[in-house]
Structure 1
Amino acid sequence: MTEQITEIDTLVVGAGQAGVAMSEHLTHHGIPHLVLEKKRIAEAWRSGRWDSLVANGRPGTIGFPA
């Protein structure tokens, strides 16, 4: 969605898990806002690896990256 914004009262800094959730909440309530992120949106989710993550099954069988 591309929209011309001339004035903004709400700014979300960071597009990680909390920032994306807040943006969805603001959108749901019709509140105009701007999200700023220095990297790609959800970059840690895309490129991060958590060796300590334990789930019921091997990574490839439950939708996690191998």
Structure 2
Amino acid sequence: MQNITLKVDGMSCGHCVNSVEGAVGKLGAKAKVDLAAGSVAIEYDEAKISLDAIKEAIEDQGYDVA
């Protein structure tokens, strides 16, 4: 399993948390949003999911991955 924390701009509320965590969860990864830090901690299996796919899923929700 791989653990990474991504800086994500544009998140500000509970809806943002649900959107990002839900989108990453659909890929089979676990995400924990920290609104105060503007980041998302992600645990994923790099053999099954690419980091690019995770970033794309977050960006598809309308947020910018730094």
Relative to the length of structure 1, the TM-score reads 0.29
Structure number having the greater helix percentage:
2
- Greater radius of gyration (CA): 1
Larger RCO, structures 1/2 (Cα 8 Å, 6+ apart): 2
Structure number having the greater strand percentage:
2
Relative to the length of structure 2, the TM-score reads 0.29
